[in-house]
Amino acid sequence: MFKKESDELSSEFVLEMIEIDKTFPGVKALDHAQLKLRYGSVHALMGENGAGKSTLMKCLFGIYREDAGEIRIEGKKVFFENPEQALKNGVAMVHQELNQVLQRNIMENIWLGRFPEKNGFIDNRKMYDDTMDVFKSLEINADPRNIIGKLSVAERQMVEIAKAVSYNAKILVLDEPTSSLAEQEVEHLFRIIKKLRDEGVGIIYISHKMEEILRISDEVTIMRDGQWIATEKAEDLTIQEIVKLMVGRDLTNRYPPKTNVPGETMLEVKNLSGRYMPTCQDVSFDLHRGEILGIAGLVGSRRTELLETIFGIRTRESGEVILRNEAGELHPVKNKSSRDAISNGFAMITEERRATGIFAGMSVTFNAIIANIIGYVKRGFLSTKRIAGDTQWVIDTMRVKTPSHKTPMRSLSGGNQQKVIIGRWLLAKPEILLLDEPTRGIDVGSKYEIYQLIISLANEGKGVVMVSSEMPELLGICDRIAVMSNGRLAGILDRSEATQEEILTLAAKYI
């Protein structure tokens, strides 16, 4: 593992990013931004979505080239034309949105582009052994020969961290590394981080989870609107001070007031099981009009599979989904596809924005209206006037920061992408919203706005089912919390009686 080569180096910093500027058409993404990373330390990088955190790291990693400023590693000025050069010079980055070859196995993903060879052929034995060495050092229990597409998001994230570590990096960037991890996986990650820090690695840790930042970090740099705002020791900061620096104002409450009042039952799920394992098994619950029902559980509890089975993108083996219309009549629905689900009044926001949520190369307009595209057809032609109006409605209502309607979705921050996705589904006027980790990778200010939106939708009589790995979030905005354990429903708690301890107890019920 990396060690500082000499105590005679002029700088105490392994990395210095000084006065970095970066401009895109219509947007100045970085404006004299800076960050200084010490040897053997964890440095948190914080800010609202769109603050410039990811852009700054992409300049470091060779994805973007800065317009002005300097990047120094161990006191020497560098610039990387691509990520390969960055990796060869000891800079590794684990992106929030995973880039993996899902059809190949774990070890091939880890050593892609640098396969060990023997006599002109790929040496699979060495690749397996090298992967196992990395896994053992990080306490990862996985077979390197498993196909990566069959792993959970959390397991794939740990593989990506192992890949970064395999480069023997002196600088490691972790972008929202715990966004898909449950409590025990977070603790595992923190052990890995402590081990790497003790070995001299400088770690840049990007997260919106305040408690994590104060627990794991040595220093915190806060950005706003592309600019450096402050760098402080983590031990000198409180959550309220961080929030104020991030948003430029006091945010006294992390969750909006609960104003929704659940009414009569609008959805009944009875003994629902998916066909192909692993999946949900014999799950029953009901959802009331105007209710926010949380779904809790550990990684592998099949929360996502439950939502996908209801929505029709996983095959149902048995059980019923019954809807009550506004006239009070009950009728079973068989969502055999997402198209069926949409026509039956369902909407679903998926866990992985990049893989299954956005059309990255398409415009904000395309992403905003695609779920309701048939509704814009008049006499065989698309109504561009209605499309433009609805796109502007999404931008205004969701407070999306974008240079224009034509901006490609990949150019927006993760939080703004999520706002467009939510707006897309609202245009389809659903009655039941299935939200899978709706605030994953979202900053505290945008989270609050999304919470307000979810509560306002419940106030309008919509039913909301919301999966979240953040128990404080579930306790903060949900009316009831259903707890999944190994594909089964372990219990349902009213908000008034639910605690984190009770949720965790139920989550381990069938393990």
Confirm if 32 and 65 have CB atoms less than 8 A apart: no
Q: Is residue 8, in this structure, part of any structural domain at all?
A: no
Do residues 379 and 493 both lie within one domain? Answer: no
Helices of type H across 407-489 = 414-427, 444-459, 471-477
Position 47 confidence tier, pLDDT thresholds 50, 70, 90: confident
Question: Residue 466's domain is classified under what CATH number?
Answer: 3.40.50.300
Do residues 189 and 219 both lie within one domain? Answer: yes
What is the model's pLDDT at position 6?
42
What is the model's pLDDT at position 254?
78
Q: Is residue 214, in this structure, part of any structural domain at all?
A: yes
Do residues 320 and 398 both lie within one domain? Answer: no
Tell me how far apart the alpha carbons of residues 480 and 1 are, in angstroms, rounded to a whole number: 47
Do residues 425 and 446 both lie within one domain? Answer: no
Other CB atoms within 10 Å distance of the CB of residue 268: 16
Do residues 103 and 196 both lie within one domain? Answer: yes
Percentage, residues of the chain above pLDDT 90: 59
Which of the two residues, 471 and 200, has the higher pLDDT score? 200
126 burial class (0-12, 13-18, 19+ CB within 10 angstroms)?
A: middle
Confirm if 186 and 180 have CB atoms less than 8 A apart: no
pLDDT for 311-353, tens place per residue? 999 999 999 999 987 777 888 999 999 989 999 999 999 887 7
* Number of domains present in the structure of the chain: 3
Of the given ranges (54-68, 118-132, 373-387, 465-479), which has the lowest mean pLDDT?
Answer: 373-387
Instruction: Give the pairing of strands 27-38 and 42-46.
Output: unpaired
Confirm if 459 and 260 have CB atoms less than 8 A apart: yes
Do residues 339 and 383 both lie within one domain? Answer: no
Buried b (16+ CB within 10 A) or exposed e, 226-261: bbbbeeeebeebeeeebbebbbeeeeeebebeeebe
Do residues 51 and 95 both lie within one domain? Answer: yes
Buried b (16+ CB within 10 A) or exposed e, 366-383: bbbbebbeeebeeeeeee
Do residues 337 and 288 both lie within one domain? Answer: yes
Average pLDDT, the chain: 89
Position 10 confidence tier, pLDDT thresholds 50, 70, 90: very low
Percentage, residues of the chain above pLDDT 70: 96
Q: Is residue 355, in this structure, part of any structural domain at all?
A: no
Do residues 273 and 408 both lie within one domain? Answer: no
Position 8 confidence tier, pLDDT thresholds 50, 70, 90: very low
Q: Is residue 4, in this structure, part of any structural domain at all?
A: no
Position 252 confidence tier, pLDDT thresholds 50, 70, 90: low
Do residues 338 and 403 both lie within one domain? Answer: no
Q: Which two tokens stand for residue 12?
A: 């105490």
pLDDT for 70-82, tens place per residue? 999 999 999 899 9
Do residues 445 and 483 both lie within one domain? Answer: yes
What is the model's pLDDT at position 271?
97
The domain in which residue 220 lies consists of 13-247
> Positive or negative, the Cα torsion across 159, 160, 164, 167?
positive
Domain boundary among 213, 247, 281: 247
What is the model's pLDDT at position 316?
94
What is the model's pLDDT at position 9?
44
Do residues 458 and 486 both lie within one domain? Answer: yes
* 3-class secondary structure per residue, 177-212: CCCCCCHHHHHHHHHHHHHHHHCCCEEEEECCCHHH
What is the model's pLDDT at position 249?
62
Tell me how far apart the alpha carbons of residues 176 and 358 are, in angstroms, rounded to a whole number: 19
Domain boundary among 232, 247, 262: 247
Tell me how far apart the alpha carbons of residues 165 and 2 are, in angstroms, rounded to a whole number: 10
Position 7 confidence tier, pLDDT thresholds 50, 70, 90: very low
pLDDT for 443-494, tens place per residue? 777 788 889 989 999 999 999 999 998 888 999 999 999 999 999 999 999 9
CA 340 from chain centre, in angstroms, equals 27
What is the model's pLDDT at position 344?
93
At residue 306, what are phi and psi to the nearest 5 degrees? -60, -50
Q: Is residue 357, in this structure, part of any structural domain at all?
A: no
Q: pTM for this structure?
A: 0.64
Give the three-state DSSP class for 507: helix
Domain boundary among 247, 265, 285: 247
* Closest listed residue to residue 453, CA positions, set 298, 325, 347, 357: 347
Q: Is residue 3, in this structure, part of any structural domain at all?
A: no
Tell me how far apart the alpha carbons of residues 145 and 153 are, in angstroms, rounded to a whole number: 17
Tell me how far apart the alpha carbons of residues 124 and 82 are, in angstroms, rounded to a whole number: 28
